[in-house]
Amino acid sequence: MDRIAFAYMGGEEFSDVFFEVYDRVRRYFRDVGLAIVPIYVGRIPLPPGTLARVETSEGYVKMYSFEAVVEALYGKLVEMKESVHDESLTKIFGLTTYPVGSRDPHLDFYKKYLGLQVTVANYHVMVLSMKPFQSENRFLFVERVFKGVLHEIGHLYGLDHCRNRCVMNPPSDVQEWDSRPPTYCNSCLKKLRDREELKPMPRFPL
């Protein structure tokens, strides 16, 4: 069994969507027989100044600092390890209300990330922004974010991009993303099920 800590980062506007996605991710991995267990670890507040208003070719957008988000998620894992003395929890997934941006150290511009993964001292930090998936259609909004979470988790466990009807098939735009089924294809599922740490414990009859 492999556990992934899940945290909500940002304002209150998408907190209900976060919990719907979190619950759906838990049920999905249970239903497809993968021993991946999401664990809700709370809301991680981001300090003032973390959210920047940045001018882009598409106009002004709001972004969280890449460094601040990664540091906060990494710190949460370290805090949990020290409080419960559990060395096995090494993965954390943060869902943010805005995209994450990193400023070039030499030029005054930001690189915007929709989703990202970073390894820090053997800890795996994943982030996905919910804002770009926003829709007036609540079901569609949740579906888009859910598929984004599966995509990032797939990469975590070694899946490459896929050309099948699959969440690992990256879209060119959000409309194409809507056409992707909310699941891994059979080929990707097989690769995940072949990983030793993701195999469910056998259940013996009483």
Give the E-state strand segments of 44-142 in sequence order: 51-56, 59-65, 91-96, 100-103, 110-113, 115-120, 123-129
pTM here is: 0.91
Helix 138-156 and helix 15-31, axial crossing angle in degrees, nearest 10:
60
Q: Which of 50-54, 100-104, 136-140 has the lowest mean pLDDT?
A: 100-104
Q: For the chain, what percent of residues have pLDDT higher than 70?
A: 92
> What gap in Å lies between CA 49 and CA 103, rounded to an integer?
14
Locus of tokens 């995940």: 192
Q: Is-catalytic flag, 55?
A: no
Q: What is the mean pLDDT of residues 39-68?
A: 84
Tell me which of 7 and 63 has the higher pLDDT: 7
Domain ranges of the chain: 2-198
Tell me which of 50 and 17 has the higher pLDDT: 17
Residues 158-194: pLDDT tens digits?
A: 999 999 999 999 999 999 999 999 999 999 999 999 9
Instruction: Indicate the fold that domain 2-198 takes in CATH.
Output: Collagenase (Catalytic Domain) (3.40.390)
Q: What is the mean pLDDT of residues 128-148?
A: 95
Asked if pLDDT for residue 35 goes beyond 90, the answer is yes
Q: Which of 82, 152, 176, 197 is catalytic?
A: 152
Asked if pLDDT for residue 20 goes beyond 90, the answer is yes
**Residue 27 confidence class, pLDDT cut points 50, 70, 90:** very high
> What gap in Å lies between CA 9 and CA 20, rounded to an integer?
15
